[in-house]
Amino acid sequence: MRYEWFIGLRYLKAKRKQTFISIITLISIFGVAVGVMALIVVLAVMNGFEKTLKDKIIGTQAHLVLLKASQEGMDHYEEVVKQVEEVKGVVSAAPFILSQVMLSSESNVTGSVLKGIDPGRVGKVTLLAQNLKAGRLEDLKKKKGEDLAGIVLGVELAKHLSASIKDTIQVISPLGTMTPMGMMPKMKRFRVVGIFHSGMYEFDNTLAYISIEHAQSFFNLEDHVTGIEIKTEDVYKVREIGREIRKKLGFPFWTKDWMEMNRNLFSALRLEKIAMFIILVLIVLVAAFNIISTLIMVVMEKNKDIAILKSMGAPSSGILKIFMIEGLVIGVVGTVLGLILGLGIAFNLETVTGFVEGLFGFKILASDVYYIDKLPSQVNPLDVGLIVMTAISISLLATLYPSWRGSRLDPAETLRYE
């Protein structure tokens, strides 16, 4: 073992009269460990939240939407569906109609986005059928002997309207009809046949579904639709697939993918993740100042040792290495401890949060507020690598000034009064 390593590691073991330095060293290690642990756990939760959000969005929205630049909407849509399904990478496609309406129940009135769907095909492009808490999509179509067609409501929308299965809802369209009394809004009654829960408040509070035939009739669209929803093999290749669809169909068709539809949301999440990383790095920086103060005190305590080493022929670079090694060991030990604790918590977050909730008697995440009843966690190896590199780099930088100061000591001046 080279003398720099031997002495640097030896200085970490304080003598009795140097207990204070030893305590500061432990605090420095603890500070680095806490910073690394917090970074790993918080970024794992952010990654998990982003993944959960993506899964819920993709489950409710189609991967890709095909639209036509026309006020009348899209005609001959069945032919378009066939052409779209021939494009490589497309799994399935289904037509839809989308319009804003007012929904009225016996107790309340609210705005909503009404979507006309084909109950037999919508399950091939979204997870609506799996998200149903009650009822069936097949009941959207009016059966023989029934006077009302069916409607499926989001769980929050149903709560707002105080509506449940078999209740009657009145749909009011902003596209009115001309009467002798002037323009009157078009109204039609539907029976609630299903309630869905996507886990996304925006969808659960605004979306309602009826069959595409009833939507065409209600909005006077004849044989037109708003567009076509498309499911792709790879959700991250939607732009390339959309380009191929546009190339095949030509103008006036255009596409919009799920990333474009939720660009602002995911941009905000990425910005929040960066902000959290910067804030939590400050914990490691505070620990770095502890490393600086520890090494400065060690230099002051060991100035006689430094003078003896220099008088024996040790170069300034050797003295520099001794204190850099000591500081680096503090940083590495703290980083490793933080890594173990952080990964341990991140991989067992559900157990840890359950223990904390049981201990203090409160719910960390109320599902009626946050729409997730447990903290999601997904450890990204790249994030972990970046955290480890950042912590060790900061620790190494913290050693530079004290190490330089120790290497600049004059042995003759130091030993003069010994």
> What pLDDT digit, counting tens, does each position of 237-248 carry?
899 999 999 999
State yes or no: cis peptide before 376, omega within 30 of 0.
no
Q: Mean per-residue pLDDT for 160-182?
A: 82
Instruction: Please report which confidence band the pLDDT of residue 60 belongs to, taking 50, 70 and 90 as the band edges.
Output: confident
pLDDT of residue 10: 67
pLDDT of residue 262: 84
The count of other CB atoms within 10 Å of the CB of residue 42 is 18
Residue among 193, 196, 177 nearest 185 (CA) = 177
Q: Mean per-residue pLDDT for 265-288?
A: 83
List the domain boundaries for the chain.
3-57+265-415, 64-234
Q: Count of alpha carbons within 13 Å of 258, Cβ hemisphere only?
A: 23
Dihedral Cα 181, 108, 189, 208, nearest 10 deg: 120
Distance, CA of 309 to CA of 307 (rounded, Å): 5
Residue among 5, 20, 31, 37 nearest 395 (CA) = 31
Residue among 187, 184, 194 nearest 219 (CA) = 187
Most confident of 21-35, 167-181, 291-305, 379-393: 379-393
- Residue 60 near residue 132, CB atoms below 8 Å: no
- Residue 52 near residue 376, CB atoms below 8 Å: yes
Give the CA angle between residues 20, 21, 27 to the nearest 5°: 90
Lowest mean pLDDT among 84-88, 92-96, 172-176: 172-176
With a CB cutoff of 8 Å and minimum separation 6, the contacts of 412 are 307
Residue type, 414: T
